[in-house]
Amino acid sequence: MMQEAARPDETREILLSVDNVSLSFGGIKAIQEVSFDIRRGEIRAIIGPNGAGKTSMLNVINGFYHPQDGIITFKGQERRRMLPSFAARQGIARTFQNVALFTGMSTLDNIMTGRVPRLEKGLLGEIGQILLQAVYLGPAQRSEMDQRKLVEEIIDFLEIQHIRRTPVGRLPYGLQKRVELGRALAMEPELLLLDEPMAGMNLEEKEDMSRFILDVNDHYGTTIALIEHDMGVVMDLSDRVVVLEYGRLIADGTPEVVQANQAVMDAYLGVPHD
Amino acid sequence: MSAGKFGPQADGDSFPKLLVRNASELAGRPAIREKDLGIWQSWSWDQVLDEVRRLALGMQALGLGRGDKIAIVGDNRPRLYWTFVAAQSLGAIPVPVYQDSVAEEMAYVLEHAEAHFAMVEDQEQVDKLLQISETVECIRHIIYDDPRGLRDYEGGHLHSFTAVQKLGEEAMAGDAGLEERWLAGINETKGSDISVILYTSGTTGRPKGVVLSHDNVLITARDAGEFEKLGPDEEVLAYLPMAWVGDHIFSYGQSYTSGFCVSCPESPETMLQDLREIGPTYFFAPPRIFENILTTVMIRMEDAAALKRRLFHYFLKVARRAGEPILNGEPVGLKDRLLYGLGAVLVYGPLKNTLGLSRVRIGYTAGEAIGPEIFSFYRSLGVNLKQLYGQTEASVFVTVQPNGEIHADTVGKPAPGVEISIADNGEVLYRGPGVFAHYYKNEEATRETKTEEGWVHSGDAGFIDDRGHLKIIDRAKDVGKLNNGAIFAPKYIENKLKFYPNIKEAVAFGDQRDMCTVFLNIDLAAVGSWAERNNVPYGSYQELAANPEVYGMIEAHVDEVNKSLAGEPRVSGSQIHRFLILHKELDADDGELTRTRKVRRKFIAERYEPLVKALYDGSTETHIETEVTFEDGRKGSLSADITICDMQTYEPPVSMEAAQ
């Protein structure tokens, strides 16, 4: 790989910041007073042992959970409560820890669904648009062709032309993950959240996926926040790493800094009882 | 213009001249197609001329000139095909290189060919070439087709395809007479000029550069096209490696001589879908592709609903009985004819459509022997599949089966203009218009292969049967003798074994030994599907290969082969006494197969020496440790305990022996 250059630095604009966010379910404190930021164009990893609150953190970012406390600022706008659909429209896309695709639909159709939040409503409004789509006339046809072109570019980018028409339920897991990434990309997100993109993959699939993540970041300039358990992958891919343990932030910095941090080592390796 | 007028008598003794001719005579007709972003994009002959002109002049501006070599590396892409003719228009020589060769192999070819230019498909190949140019200094300019991932690459010697074409446009804008001079240069190219250097994958030693003239490729392509009555209306799918002579003749040579359109698949993985969309009328595939397709069909039919499965098997029986005679124009009873007609509607038609073979008028297969059952299967469905025998040194065509004279066990009669003779040691010699000029920078090999009179030693042993057809038994040098003096033709035995769908590869030993023994590779798709149906759990190839039930199944196949060998007096001594199933699949990356998937018997014997030893020392189990190369070039090791299975052999029938 020849892309050592062009790493985001301190001067980059902050795309999203999380200030003192706390989230609890009844008596269980999932996230406690966590603060960090994500800069435009970087690959940001969130790591931590099981139950550290990583997925909860992603769910807070894309509006699925509503923190009891704290402030989230996205593109300079502070927000407290929002719906996931609104987050999607604002430019946040995500993939899931367990693949969440429409298994009976083809790869192409699954990725096309990613275009829905981006569809122009035009003068006729939503209902009018649906009617136009149904008869496939005029602007609807043009719009469909434009959407399809963008989706085809993603299919080409992810090298999944051969499964374009295959129902995703019949695909192996590694390819399903790639389709899910494709659907998230179809939203043309500014911030892409990946929840364990490599879980359950073999070495070759992990290498492919790593390359695609780097390519997405490089080619589309998409900011990426990812949760991952494979430390090799995390350290290779990310510019900065946030480490959570029991809902608290215990370290934040470049991979080298985080790796050398005593608290992180303790969290992962355990503290000797002596 | 009409299709009939176009063709052999038309002028042009070099490919650039043919391009100019096609651009005017076939203007507006498609020349080449590529599926991009899910849509087939085509270029007409006149558009191709325009693309080629800008490309050629751009490369000229970079310094490509007469006698320079340009390496072409990548999957089948229109821009890569245009590079051939663009280079030829400048008097430069294209050298296509196998796109899947590892950096080391590629470095050898580039250095040997002294290629200063390279036209490559994408980042993967650029990376490979950059790695090569650290040690080999010959490459001065790399031009790439697909810019993806190459944004951050730097260096004055890296150019995108469009940037080079732009250079060409600028050169034309700055020099009014340039285009005229380019066309004049094309007029000066002649048939005896070198048109291409093709490196043979080589079963032994370093690859050799086969130098072919325009005459070689062009006359062969034209004669063979005339023989099969090819015209501008054919549809062809270009999916085989561009570095292979077959693709060069079928997708480049004959496209230019006959004027038909060639379609490039979207990606290697989509080939079968693209085949279906294009519906080629003229189709070449090596036996292994026909085998793979058949295996896939059979596996899918096993999973089909009961009614479909019964229909399929019933009508397949009808086809086996009546299909081939109908295709050959022989008399067939009314009942079978009607049943075959019904089968065509219910089974054969839909099946051929699914496979993309509905429109095939001429199907060729070559390279290896094809299983008689596989061959008959396609023919009985009404696909006019024929065998041919060819070599890079002959610009493909040595023999080909004429329509109506198709036999599963021969490779046909001499191709137009080709003469054949058999040497005393059984080796096939040939002479004809396609015979190569010489091996590049290798006079010794040229002298060994080609006589003063132009006869080429094919290296294959064979004979002409009483129908006048050539029959190939094996590589001449591989035909050996058992210690008891009986003839030993390893490939003959291996092919018999490989005709079983469960067996993917076989390697036979026996030369200067007491008995014949074999290594086998199971076919993971076929045996894996069997395992699934029979609830046999397995985690890897290695585990499945070592399974006793699998051994039992394979033993039955080997037994059948022994019975069949016993019935053939010439080879009855070569019955298989012992066999084992290898713990890993033979792989070209490990050097065990050539890039065209032929086994390198000697290399394998050395690499698995302990296993060969165990086959002959009577042991029933042995241990082996093997180094394997992964796709990214890293190495690992694999160890296994391998069971060796003893086989029963059969006495040849007495009458046969007496007859001999």
The residues spanned by each domain of chain A are: 1-91+189-274, 108-183
pLDDT at B8: 42
CATH of the domain at B76: 3.40.50.12780
Q: Which two tokens stand for residue B228?
A: 């099969």
pLDDT at A273: 60
In a domain, B368, yes or no: yes
Among A3-17, A70-84, B62-76, B336-350, which is the least confidently predicted range? Answer: A3-17
In a domain, B277, yes or no: no
Domain match, B537 and B583 both: yes
State whether A157 and B148 contact (CB < 8 Å): yes
Query: Which residues does chain B have within 8 Å of residue A149's beta carbon, measured at their own beta carbons?
Result: 37
Most confident of the ranges A201-210, B36-45, B292-301, B526-535: B36-45
Where does residue A20 fall: left (phi above 0), alpha (psi -120 to 50 degrees), or beta otherwise? left
The CATH number of A1-91+189-274 is 3.40.50.300
- Which of B40, B126, B271, B273 to probe by mutation at the A interface, max A CB count within 10 Å? B273
State whether B270 and A5 contact (CB < 8 Å): no
In a domain, B100, yes or no: yes
Q: Does A157 touch chain B (CB under 8 A)?
A: yes
- How many domains does chain B contain in total? 3
pLDDT at B215 over 90: yes
Domain match, B457 and B495 both: no
Calpha distance B78→B238 (Å, rounded):
10
Cβ neighbour number for residue B534 with a 10 Å cutoff: 9
pLDDT at B107: 93
Would you tell me which residues 192-211 of chain A have a C-beta closer than 8 angstroms to some C-beta of chain B?
204, 207
What is the nearest CA distance from B638 to chain A, expressed in angstroms?
17
Q: Does A153 touch chain B (CB under 8 A)?
A: yes
Q: Of B409 and B82, which is predicted with more confidence?
A: B82
Phi, psi of B579 (to 5 degrees): -145, 165
pLDDT at A156: 92
pLDDT in tens, B272-282: 899 999 999 99
Q: Which helix (H) or strand (E) holds B360?
A: none
Domain match, B181 and B203 both: yes
Domain match, B510 and B463 both: no
A-B contacts at Cβ under 8 angstroms: 39
**What's the rounded mean pLDDT across residues A40-68?**
91
Domain match, B81 and B160 both: yes
Query: Nearest by CB to B38, which of A164, A204, A215?
Result: A164
pLDDT at B11 over 90: no
| Helix and strand counts by DSSP (H, E) for chain A | 10, 10
Q: Of A238 and A1, which is predicted with more confidence?
A: A238
pLDDT at A1: 37
Range of the domain at B143: 15-266
Domain match, B96 and B241 both: yes
Query: Which residues does chain B have within 8 Å of residue A3's beta carbon, measured at their own beta carbons?
Result: 152
Among B11-15, B28-32, B139-143, B454-458, which is the least confidently predicted range? Answer: B11-15
CATH of the domain at B383: 2.30.38.10
In a domain, B470, yes or no: yes
pLDDT at B211: 97
pLDDT in tens, B96-155: 999 988 888 899 999 999 999 999 999 999 999 999 988 888 899 999 999 988 877 877
Angle between helices B524-533 and B287-302 (to 10 degrees): 10
pLDDT at B657 over 80: no
Domain match, B468 and B509 both: no
Question: Which whole-number Å values give the CA distances from B270 to A159, B41, B240, B267, B292, in the listed order?
Answer: 10, 16, 13, 5, 15
Q: Are strands B456-464 and B427-431 parallel, antiparallel or unpaired?
A: antiparallel
pLDDT at B37 over 80: yes
State whether A161 and B38 contact (CB < 8 Å): yes
What is the nearest CA distance from B116 to chain A, expressed in angstroms?
24
Q: Of A98 and B365, which is predicted with more confidence?
A: B365
Instruction: Give me the percent of chain B exceeding a pLDDT of 90.
Output: 63
pLDDT at B202: 61
Query: Nearest by CB to A149, which of B37, B267, B273?
Result: B37
pLDDT at B6: 47
pLDDT in tens, A127-149: 766 776 677 667 777 778 888 99
Calpha distance B324→B376 (Å, rounded):
7
| CA–CA–CA angle B114, B119, B123 (5° rounding) | 120
pLDDT at B624: 87
pLDDT at A179 over 50: yes
pLDDT in tens, B600-633: 888 999 999 999 999 999 888 888 888 777 777 7
- Kindly report the average pLDDT of chain B as a whole number: 90
pLDDT at B204: 60
**What's the rounded mean pLDDT across residues A227-249?**
91
In chain A, % helix, strand, coil (3-state, to 5) comes to 40, 25, 35
pLDDT at B636: 80
Query: Which residues does chain B have within 8 Å of residue A148's beta carbon, measured at their own beta carbons?
Result: 38
pLDDT at A96 over 90: no
Calpha distance A176→A101 (Å, rounded):
8
Tokens 């295959």 found at: A166
pLDDT at A162 over 70: yes
Domain match, B158 and B228 both: yes
Query: Nearest by CB to B38, which of A152, A207, A218?
Result: A152
State whether A155 and B148 contact (CB < 8 Å): no
**What's the rounded mean pLDDT across residues B221-232?**
95
pLDDT at A123 over 70: no
Query: Nearest by CB to A161, which of B149, B153, B270?
Result: B270
3-state secondary structure of B600: coil
pLDDT at B566: 86
State whether A6 and B269 contact (CB < 8 Å): no
Calpha distance B356→B381 (Å, rounded):
13
pLDDT at B659 over 60: no
pLDDT at B9: 41
Domain match, B74 and B95 both: yes
Domain match, B556 and B578 both: yes
- Kindly report the average pLDDT of chain A as a whole number: 86
Return the C-alpha torsion angle B522, B528, B530, B533, nearest 10.
170
Calpha distance A50→A59 (Å, rounded):
16
Confidence of residue B299 (pLDDT cuts 50, 70, 90): confident
pLDDT at B656: 43
- Which of A162, A165, A220 to probe by mutation at the B interface, max B CB count within 10 Å? A162
State whether B152 and A5 contact (CB < 8 Å): yes
Tokens 């009961």 found at: B306
pLDDT at B432 over 90: yes
Phi, psi of A77 (to 5 degrees): -105, 125
Q: Does A148 touch chain B (CB under 8 A)?
A: yes
pLDDT at B569: 66
Helices (H), B437-589: 443-449, 490-498, 524-533, 541-545, 548-566
Domain match, B293 and B232 both: no
Residue A166: closest C-alpha in chain B: B273
Query: Which residues does chain B have within 8 Å of residue A159's beta carbon, measured at their own beta carbons?
Result: 267
Query: Which residues does chain B have within 8 Å of residue A207's beta carbon, measured at their own beta carbons?
Result: 632
Name every residue in B having a CB less than 8 A away from some CB of A: 36-39, 148-149, 151-153, 266-267, 269-270, 273, 631-632
Domain match, B547 and B459 both: no
pLDDT at B4: 39
